[in-house]
Amino acid sequence: MSNRSETGRASRLSAFDDLINFLVDLQATYNPPVDNLKIDHLKQVHERASQAHQVVSVSDAAYRVALNKRNETVKPLNNIVRSVVNLVMALGLANGQTPKVKSLAKAITGNVKLSQQSIESRMDHFNQFIVLIGSLDGYTPDRELMEIASLQSLHQVMKETNKELAKKESMLTSARMQRDVTFKGEDGLLQNTRRVKLYLRSLFGDRSDSYRQVIRITQVIK
């Protein structure tokens, strides 16, 4: 979700708070006959939306940390795989497995996307690659990061960070859905604003200064 979208919701929260303050300033003039138009109820609506918005902010921050960690884990993968392939080819270790080695390497390094689906596909091919390289006689690299144990460790870390990212993404999605209810639901920010405006319109008329002030206050709540 873009920062612009988050800023927009923060602006709506601020405008709704301004609307409540405007109603408070009206004092006895604002005395609706139903509870869902009363100021106490509107304050509850604002509090629910504010809390839901805060949960999204926290969840989004956690998601971005997990995303960066996963991406940093995946970052060296292509170079390591290419180095392994070059070593295998240089030493002539493939023993008829050259097409398979190159095919798996291409499946891993040819996809530069970092979407959840593409990462999972690359991890699967990387696992197959490790098994194949580990089966080749004479594969004894002189660099630790190319050793089978290191490749297996990298694969495991990729799995763990990707799993954590999926968890954080699920939590963020759930938080956004809950926030949407507090903003767009029947008893949410937008519907309550609409009802208050209709009540004030009936009270003051749509050409009054008071109603025009309400329109200015609530113009961002759409």
For 146-160, how does the pLDDT look when each residue is reduced to its tens digit (9 = 90+)? 999 999 999 999 999
Least Cα distance to 191 among 171, 218, 154 occurs for: 218
Dihedral pair phi/psi, residue 79, rounded to 5°: -65, -40
Domain ranges in the chain are 3-72+183-218, 75-168
Tokens of 107: 């499946």
CB-based contacts of 65, cutoff 8 Å, min separation 6:
168
For 122-134, how does the pLDDT look when each residue is reduced to its tens digit (9 = 90+)? 999 999 999 999 9
Separation of alpha carbons 90 and 133, rounded Å: 14
Separation of alpha carbons 213 and 122, rounded Å: 57
CA-CA distances (angstroms) from residue 46 to 55, 71, 120, 218? 14, 37, 41, 14
Average of per-residue pLDDT values in the chain? 94
Q: What is the pTM of this model?
A: 0.86
Q: Is the pLDDT of residue 60 over 60?
A: yes
User: Measured on CA atoms in the order 25, 54, 48, 190, is the torsion positive or negative?
Assistant: positive
